[in-house]
Chains A and B, each alone.
Chain A
């Protein structure tokens, strides 16, 4: 195999010319098929490639497009899923925004998710740096703890947290839920920040040290400003995590005006009545702004997630 060294484009010609020298060993007879390179493909393969990508894109986009379509079809539009009769209207949106508790839920969600994010990122950044740069006793076990906390099913902590928050009078409060979400976001933020700090060259730290900065000074003055994109991505991810959380919110919140979106939306589709028009309108309002920001940061997001893991 290793003896075929001609440039692949004119392989057959070269074959004939040099064939005599290497007739033995290689076993590449004249009937050997030309190997197709990575960037060459037949028109048929091209069509197949585009076909597969188009089908996959349709599957990916359809539910979202359908959600937007139904939300614009008025209150009863969802009962005729395939007809566009009667045109589009925004009545669902005006109803949801003016007649329901949706704006309140939205504000609750923003407040709780923002609180979680702030605490999570502030607390976690220095830890991510320490794990990335310093080899201290306990370094390995802390890495493990951060990974293990990713495995905590809600069921492990939820009963104990419920009892503890109940005793502290923090059930059905913003602070209670923010603290709860910190149990999810803090280890996660530290994990992601570690991955990001790993990508910043160590020479910068050394330069700082040579200039007489303490490790804190290096971190605060040199590294943290460089890590702004990483901080932003981490913050955004923990925001989204808190934004979409269901289990804790449902168990810990009970007053209607305190609900977050993930719990409140349920009331549009109770056991007996289903207001899918209102629900889809709310869903669009929730998804579109967050989705746009998400698309801006997603590339960095994955890098952060996997970097934290691969270099453990």
Chain B
């Protein structure tokens, strides 16, 4: 703790004497705050903004493994990639590279279905847990358990269960007299399989978040609604859902961003060769960057596109929420 806070003097911005007096006054008033945020601003600048800038630049070039600067033995080979303007973006967005729109479609389906199941199942379980039930805390702990499992571990467990020859699912299907399902080979079942894993992993977070939201709704509102003769459904519709709005807005936004960028489940579940039809944009971009011939420019282009889409989504989502807030 000491290092972050004890020596603010060294982190103070250089004095701006001689500049506009307005800035001087602002500096006098706010230098405490600026000094306190400086470490994070530095880290963000060095570790995020600069690489992001490099990434944007790379997306305007034709950089790949063959033409970037590299060290071969003792000799340094200079970079020979060139600036190509919007070529990469044009190739991707016009559909010329053939991968973007199918992968975008699947990424959207993946995100929407995962977040939908996360939220509805999480909400349902939270509503159940919010009642007076015997053994409530035991249920709660059991239901939270999946969240305690790191994503890569969970993916491996499920991959074992999905195994087409020795997996438990097919063993159970076999004992029920049904034929085996090629969970990880068939394109459609792959998608079902990865959504299943992600839903299993993500529901506990939603459940706990919604439960917290439910408990923050004052019971007086419910009592008033009961007095007014509101049915359970009406109470849910007009008291519970509006009361959950702040929490829901946050977790749905976070959940969408996380799911859109969910890397380990799809990458580890399907392996590198097997995933061609079930890749989302992020895993595809990753394979471009570190696949057989490393297409750095292509990966950067995809990365920037993904980021732009999420930004646009976040802005519209916030704006929509604000409008609803005003309308109420």
Q: Which residues of A contact B161 (CB under 8 A)?
A: 63, 66
The reply to whether B40 and A153 contact each other, CB–CB distance below 8 Å, is no
Q: Which of A1, A134, A269 meets B156, CB within 8 Å?
A: A269
- Tell me whether B104 is interfacial, beta carbon within 8 Å: no
Whether B139 and A136, one on each chain, are in contact in the complex, defined by CB atoms closer than 8 angstroms, is no
Instruction: State how many angstroms separate the Cβ of B70 from the closest Cβ of chain A.
Output: 8
With A82-B171, A246-B267: A283-B51 Cβ-Cβ less than 8 Å: no
Interface pair B40/A287, CB less than 8 Å apart: no
Interface readout for A268-312 with B: 1 if CB under 8 Å, 0 if not? 010100101001100100110011001100110011011001100
Identify the stretch in A90-98, A100-108, A125-133 within 8 Å (CB) of chain B at 4 or more residues. A125-133
Contact yes or no, A183 B47, CB < 8 A: yes
A244 CB-CB contact with B under 8 Å: yes
Where chain A touches its partner, the secondary structure class is helix
Complex alpha-carbon distance, A46 and B230, angstroms? 21
> Is B154 an interface position by the 8 A CB rule?
yes
CA distance A89 to B167 in the complex (A): 20
Q: How far is the CA of A291 from the CA of B147 in the complex (A)?
A: 8
Whether B251 pairs with A136 at a CB distance below 8 angstroms is no
State the interface size on chain B (CB cutoff 8 A): 116
Q: Is A84 an interface residue (CB 8 A)?
A: no
| Complex Cα gap A149–B40 (Å) | 12
Digit string of B201-231 for contact with A (CB within 8 Å is 1, else 0)?
0011100110011000000001000111111
Q: Chain B residues with Cβ under 8 A from A41's Cβ?
A: 131
Interface assignment of A154: CB less than 8 Å from any CB of chain B: yes
Closest to A7 in B: B227
| Beta-carbon nearest neighbor of A286 in chain B | B153
Q: How far, in angstroms, from A72 to B104 measured CA to CA in the complex? A: 42
A247/B304 in contact, CB under 8 A: no
Contact B285 A151 (CB under 8 A): no
Q: Is the CB of B142 within 8 A of A60?
A: yes
Chain A residues in 8 Å Cβ range of B142: 57, 60-61
Q: Known contacts being A131-B37, A280-B160, is A82 close to B168, with CB within 8 Å?
A: yes
- Structural contact, A49 and B131, CB atoms closer than 8 A: yes
Known: A151-B257, A155-B281. 7 other contacts (CB 8 A): A53-B128, A123-B4, A136-B29, A153-B303, A156-B55, A219-B5, A247-B286
**A interface residues (Cβ-Cβ under 8 A, vs B):** 1-2, 4-5, 8, 28, 35-39, 41, 49-50, 52-53, 56-57, 59-61, 63-64, 66-67, 70, 78-82, 122-127, 129-131, 134, 136-139, 142, 145, 147-164, 179-180, 182-183, 186-187, 190, 214-216, 219-220, 224, 231, 240, 243-244, 246-247, 250-251, 261-262, 265-266, 269, 271, 274, 276, 279-280, 283, 286-287, 290-291, 294-295, 298-299, 302-303, 305-306, 309-310
